[in-house]
Amino acid sequence: MATIGVLHPGAMGAAVGAALAQAGHEVLWVAAGRSAATASRARAAGLTDAGSLDALLRSSAVVLSICPPDAAASVAEAAAGFDGIYVDANAISPQRAAEIAHLVGPAYVDGGIVGPPPQRPGTTRLYLSGDPGPARAVAALFDGTALEARVLDGHGATAASALKMAYAAWTKGSAALLLAAERAAAALGVHDALHEEWARSQPELEARLAAAGASAAAKGWRWVGEMREIAATFEAAGQPGGFHRAAADVFAAFPRPAGDEPVPAS
Ligand SMILES: NC(=O)c1ccc[n+]([C@@H]2O[C@H](COP(=O)([O-])OP(=O)(O)OC[C@H]3O[C@@H](n4cnc5c(N)ncnc54)[C@H](OP(=O)(O)O)[C@@H]3O)[C@@H](O)[C@H]2O)c1
Structural domain contains residue 261:
no
How close is the Cα of 185 to the center of ligand 1, in Å?
Answer: 33
Structural domain contains residue 179:
yes
Q: What is the CATH number of the domain that holds 78?
A: 3.40.50.720
pLDDT at residue 265, as a whole number: 57
Structural domain contains residue 262:
no
Residue 35 Cα: closest atom of ligand 1: 40
Regarding whether 94 and 170 lie in a shared domain, the answer is no
163-175 per-position pLDDT tens digit: 999 999 999 999 9
Q: Averaged over 133-161, what is the pLDDT?
A: 96
User: What total number of domains does the chain contain?
Assistant: 2
The pick from 12, 16, 64 for probing ligand 1's pocket by mutation, whose C-beta has the most ligand atoms within 8 angstroms, reads 12
- Is it the case that residue 266 has pLDDT exceeding 80? no
Structural domain contains residue 258:
no
Regarding whether 140 and 178 lie in a shared domain, the answer is no
Alpha carbon nearest to ligand 1 atom 28, residue: 68
Structural domain contains residue 37:
yes
- State which residues form the domain around 115: 3-156
Structural domain contains residue 266:
no
Q: What global pTM score does this model have?
A: 0.95
Alpha carbon nearest to ligand 1 atom 34, residue: 67
Looking at 126, 156, 186, the residue that finishes a domain is 156
Euclidean distance between CA atoms 75 and 227, whole angstroms: 20
pLDDT at residue 54, as a whole number: 97
Regarding whether 131 and 244 lie in a shared domain, the answer is no
Q: Averaged over 18-34, what is the pLDDT?
A: 97
150-163 per-position pLDDT tens digit: 999 888 999 999 99
CA quadruple 78, 83, 87, 93: dihedral sign: positive
Regarding whether 102 and 203 lie in a shared domain, the answer is no
Regarding whether 181 and 71 lie in a shared domain, the answer is no
pLDDT at residue 43, as a whole number: 97
Residues 6+ apart with CB under 8 A from 42: 9, 14, 17, 29, 31, 49
pLDDT at residue 256, as a whole number: 86
How close is the Cα of 212 to the center of ligand 1, in Å?
Answer: 19
- Is it the case that residue 92 has pLDDT exceeding 80? yes
pLDDT at residue 263, as a whole number: 62
Structural domain contains residue 260:
no
Regarding whether 172 and 109 lie in a shared domain, the answer is no
Regarding whether 32 and 87 lie in a shared domain, the answer is yes
Regarding whether 20 and 149 lie in a shared domain, the answer is yes
* Mean pLDDT, the chain, whole residue set: 96
